[in-house]
Amino acid sequence: MIYLAVVGGSSCTEQEMELARETGKEIAGRGAVLLCGGGSGVMEAASAGASQEGGIVIGILPGGSAREGNQYLTAAIATGMGEARNAIITRTADAVIAIGGEYGTLSEIALAIKMGKPVIGLRSWRLSPPHGVKDGIIEKAGAEEAVETAFCLINY
């Protein structure tokens, strides 16, 4: 089983939502499990896309109730741990696709890179690492390309 996480803002632009939906579709279409934070915005759009393709969608929620997840989840995990759940998402994922996003998303990008997971960015954060530190985000323009790159780097 391959696990791909889609991370991004709980509120987002129409364009980001569309990108997230397509990314979710691509992930499910290739038979991978979609992992996300289980909330709204980018998370919900990716979940909807994957769900539409009949894929498995897992939401790792910050709160204490499995009822708080979006409607497209195959299953929700109520961690009750707040933002510490971001580390569970990146730990489980084989690769992470970031779409837009603010500081929660940046923390997931950073945790994923720290854990050695490939991170693909779609209109998301751009990093200017300090001297001697590599930029760990691979920027792509479209959903298909992003998911293809993720699979490529996992198999590698």
Interface with a copy of itself by CB under 8 A: which residues? Answer: 1, 3, 33, 56, 58, 60, 64, 66, 74-84, 86-88, 90-92, 94, 100-104, 106-107, 109-111, 113-115, 123-130, 133, 136
CB of 87 to a copy of itself, least distance (A): 4
Closest of 28, 56, 44 to residue 147, by C-alpha: 28
CB of 56 to a copy of itself, least distance (A): 6
Closer residue to a copy of itself, CB minimum distance, 66 or 153? 66
| Strand order, beta sheet including 57-61 | 75-78, 57-61, 33-36, 3-8, 95-99, 119-122, 137-139
Closer residue to a copy of itself, CB minimum distance, 21 or 85? 85
CB of 53 to a copy of itself, least distance (A): 16
Please state, in angstroms and as integers, the Cα–Cα distance from residue 130 to each residue in 22, 55, 115, 127, following that order: 33, 39, 19, 9
Give the number of other CB atoms < 10 A from CB of residue 62.
18
